[in-house]
Structure 1
Amino acid sequence: MSGPSRREFIQQSFNAVCSYFLFESLFARDLFAQAVQPIIKHWAHQLDDLCRDLRSNALTLVQWQEQVETLLNRIELKELLQFIDFEKLTRQFDFPDLGTATKPVSFPKL
């Protein structure tokens, strides 16, 4: 049997899903530093074009997967994290007052 093992497949799928939600959150909240926004937008347009080609059957699923993988491999997570505007991100947090988001926990007696 060629191809990834079940464990490798699950790991790759999990990484892809996490990457997708990370990018979606960062794009939705405009959290990339101004210096890299043109590059990130270009990358996002390329991804959108690939998805559009898949929907119109201009690409097969295998071709789409290979091209998306190539596109994703161009950006390293460590590099991406350097360009996130964490100051802007933390300003958007809505911190609750001390203790308002906690519930008392009762542990059984041993």
Structure 2
Amino acid sequence: MKTIALLIVSNVFMTFAWYGQLKDTTVPIWKAILISWGIAFFEYCLMVPANRLGYTSGMNGFQLKIVQEVITLVIFSVFAVWYLKEPFQLKYLISFGFIMGAVYFAFKK
């Protein structure tokens, strides 16, 4: 559970670092890059321990990456609807269903 919690929080930081600047495109790109790097620092401070903890707790690299991608998509979906005010469409839900199939197969014994 610690791995998942760290991955969730790190992905919140990552989403704001990568996509937060889309809300105000009047900020010069060099400022957006520096701000994003500053935010991403905190993402890395959480992502690296999350991956190390998950790996030493029995998950393999593939499993960690697939879990991280699912968390990223969930966090990004909330972010896109709440922060960017973009509509959520059925096609995105169907796409996520296919990704959940990938999770199933990644963890299948």
TM over 0.5: no
TM superposition score normalised by structure 1 = 0.38
Pick the structure with greater CA Rg.
1
| TM-score of the superposed pair, with normalisation by structure 2 | 0.39
Structure showing the higher helix proportion among its residues: 2
